[in-house]
């Protein structure tokens, strides 16, 4: 019999059997026993895992002292070194849900230990942690405990043994938002024709791809004095110096590059070219400024129309690049531009 994997359990003051609302201000404590839902949990692990202890924390305390609470709890987890952390289920309790969610996120991000929790779909904690932790779908009240625990335990068992989880429907968790590539029996065209016929007959059908939802950002205030403004040039058109020194991918970029253009008049060929794999490169390779117009900006700088062209030119390839990567690039580049007190940005796309 192989060694049992270790589980650490997190509950609030109520499920930790300390008290109700009056004890919601209690600071976290570690208890080497199995308290509340943790008590029955071990049995559900079918002898493959053991619960090494319970962390109990007041909901109010956690939410009002998030950093201090996390510090304490993460330290306990480091000491106990569990293979899986289980939190909740929090059902529709908002503060408890937020505590489970924040904890789950921190444990996955910082300690790389998988976390299972359980919540009602409308619990605000779901959106905080569903991408990181496995959140099983529960009812909205503690009456669902008996149903929730076996589901959580089944997942903990798989996580503890390193077995890949099945689909959200099979396992009972709220989708993490991950698009998992897999094989199916029928080819795509067959599935399309069947979906079409179902639609035409008014029968139920299910799309394979719910449409993405993009958030909006408030526009930044306009530049007041263009003549004194520093303008930065960015592109997702893949214009890079000859030889692509940073190896920016031709599609599905994993990185961006920045290049000093302070002494250049233009992004002229052959010193620059495009590494972008998503369009006919011939025209961009003739005159890279057709994609990123450094030459015109430099002229405007000379004429005094703008104050200055920012020293660094930022570039990556847009084609097939995941939105999450683009976000990451934008955040990194934005932070640099902010620090350099750049006043405005021109971003060109192909």
The residues in 232-251 that bind other proteins, with binding defined as CB under 8 A, are 234, 236-237, 247, 249-251
The residues in 128-157 that bind other proteins, with binding defined as CB under 8 A, are 131
Q: 242 has which bridge partners?
A: none
CB atoms within 10 A of CB 64: 13
Q: Is the preceding peptide bond at 317 cis, omega within 30 degrees of 0?
A: no
- Residue 113 near residue 87, CB atoms below 8 Å: no
Question: Under the phi-then-psi rule, with left for phi > 0, alpha for psi from -120 to 50, and beta for the rest, what region is 246?
Answer: alpha
CB atoms within 10 A of CB 112: 7
199 touches other proteins (CB under 8 A): yes
d(CA 30, CA 42): 17
Which member of 103, 155, 291, 309 binds other proteins (CB under 8 A)? 291
39 touches other proteins (CB under 8 A): no
195 touches other proteins (CB under 8 A): yes
Query: Quick one: 1 or 213, whose CB is closer to other proteins?
Result: 213
Interface region with other proteins, contact rule CB under 8 A, candidates 97-105, 106-114, 155-163, 285-293: 285-293
Query: Quick one: 60 or 285, whose CB is closer to other proteins?
Result: 285
Least distance (Å) from other proteins to the CB of residue 45?
A: 23
205 touches other proteins (CB under 8 A): yes
- Residue 158 near residue 165, CB atoms below 8 Å: yes
Interface region with other proteins, contact rule CB under 8 A, candidates 61-69, 86-94, 105-113, 332-340: 332-340
Least distance (Å) from other proteins to the CB of residue 38?
A: 28
DSSP secondary structure string for all residues of 215-261: ---PPPPPPS-GGG-EEEEEESB-EEETT-TT---SSS-S--EEEE-
Query: Quick one: 56 or 306, whose CB is closer to other proteins?
Result: 306
Which member of 89, 292, 309, 313 binds other proteins (CB under 8 A)? 292
């Amino acid at each position: 019999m192989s060694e049992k994997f270790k589980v650490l359990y997190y509950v609030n003051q109520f499920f930790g059997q300390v008290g109700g609302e009056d004890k919601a201000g209690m600071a976290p404590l570690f208890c080497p026993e199995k308290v509340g839902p943790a008590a029955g949990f071990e049995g559900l692990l079918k002898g493959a895992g053991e619960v090494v202890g319970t962390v109990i924390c007041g909901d109010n305390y956690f939410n009002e002292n998030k950093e201090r609470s996390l510090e304490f709890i993460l330290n306990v987890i480091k000491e106990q070194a569990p293979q899986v952390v289980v939190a909740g289920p929090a059902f529709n309790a908002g503060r408890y849900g937020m505590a489970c969610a924040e904890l789950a996120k921190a444990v996955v991000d910082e300690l790389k230990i998988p976390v299972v929790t359980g919540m009602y779909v409308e619990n605000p904690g779901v959106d905080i942690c569903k991408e990181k932790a496995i959140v099983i779908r529960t009812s909205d009240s503690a009456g669902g405990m008996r149903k929730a625990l076996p589901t959580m335990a089944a997942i903990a068992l798989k996580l503890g043994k390193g077995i890949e989880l099945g689909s959200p429907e099979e396992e009972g968790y709220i989708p993490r938002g991950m698009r998992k590539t897999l094989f199916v029996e029928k080819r795509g065209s067959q599935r399309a024709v069947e979906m079409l016929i179902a639609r035409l007959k008014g029968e139920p059908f299910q799309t394979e791809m719910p449409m993405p939802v993009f958030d909006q950002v408030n526009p930044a205030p306009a530049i007041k004095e263009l003549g004194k403004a520093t303008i930065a040039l960015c592109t997702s058109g893949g214009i890079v110096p000859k030889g692509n020194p940073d190896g920016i991918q031709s599609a599905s970029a994993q990185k961006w590059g920045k290049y000093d253009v302070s002494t250049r008049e233009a992004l002229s060929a052959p010193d620059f070219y495009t590494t972008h794999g998503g369009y006919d490169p011939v025209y961009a390779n003739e005159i890279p400024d057709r994609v990123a117009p450094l030459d015109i900006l430099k002229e405007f700088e000379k004429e005094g129309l703008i104050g200055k062209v920012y020293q660094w030119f930022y570039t990556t390839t847009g084609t097939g690049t995941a939105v999450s990567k683009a976000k990451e690039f934008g955040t990194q580049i934005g932070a640099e531009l902010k620090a350099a007190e750049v006043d405005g940005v021109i971003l060109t796309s192909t």
